Amino acid sequence: MKNIVILISGRGSNMEAVVRALDAEGWPARIAAVISNKPEAKGLEFARARGIPTAVVANKEYATRAEFDAALQETIDRFEPDLVVLAGFMRILTAPFVEHYAGRMLNIHPSLLPLYPGLGTHQQAIDAGDREHGATVHFVTAELDHGPIVAQARVPVLPGDTEDTLSARLLVEEHKLYPYAVRLFVEDRLEIDNGDVRILAPAEPTSI
């Protein structure tokens, strides 16, 4: 049984998709906690309503990034996570924090990385005239929105698309992609090899 801690900053729809898939598909895992850096994050309400333990570590109460990350790490580790899932967690993380969770922290980013790290990805795809846009789940490394790629989902960019229409189309795919990737981790099917992720075949069902 793996412990998952999910970090959010807002709406939390990707967190919700992971929680629902875990429950519906009976993964060998449980959501140990949902933690937000914003007390008003909408996603906290969903987690509380499901009886999931929640915590808030408000970044504005800390003078430096290092102090905040240290407090966050302490809170996360109380829940003994096997995996930390960043789901719309809008913070740049310090290197020691990232190092502490090396190989056990995933992020979802709304672009086909390595294209468009950072913010404003949907508009960038539109402005560049891209025919295709997408989302990426990757292991978190010290460099923002980099790190070994687990899986990507693609959507077309359609004529007349705005940031809103494109992000809404992509979000539907994110809600399938992130549960898929987290489940692979939970089932021990991800191996990082020289910066690349290998997806292992599912374990054979054991017979007696």
Q: Active-site residues: which are they?
A: 109
Give 3-state DSSP helix, strand, coil % of the chain, rounded to 5.
35, 25, 40
Nearer to ligand GRF among residue 8 and residue 32 (C-beta): 8
Spatial contact of 32 and 3, defined as CB atoms under 8 Å apart: yes
- Choose which of 7, 31, 112, 135 interacts with ligand GRF (CB under 6 A): 135
Residue 6 dihedral angles phi and psi, to the nearest 5°: -110, 130
- Choose which of 14, 73, 94, 141 interacts with ligand GRF (CB under 6 A): 14
Terminal CA-CA length for the chain: 21
Instruction: Identify the CA nearest to 114 among candidates 160, 141, 72, 145.
Output: 145
The reply to whether 109 sits near ligand GRF by the rule CB under 6 A is: yes
Nearer to ligand GRF among residue 81 and residue 88 (C-beta): 88
The reply to whether 134 sits near ligand GRF by the rule CB under 6 A is: no
Scan residues 156-185 and list those touching ligand GRF (CB under 6 A).
174
Separation in Å, CA 183 to CA 72, 83, 86, 187:
24, 11, 15, 6
Minimum CB separation of residue 150 from ligand GRF in Å reads: 14
Residue ranges that bind ligand GRF, judged by CB under 6 A: 8, 10-14, 87-88, 108-110, 135, 174
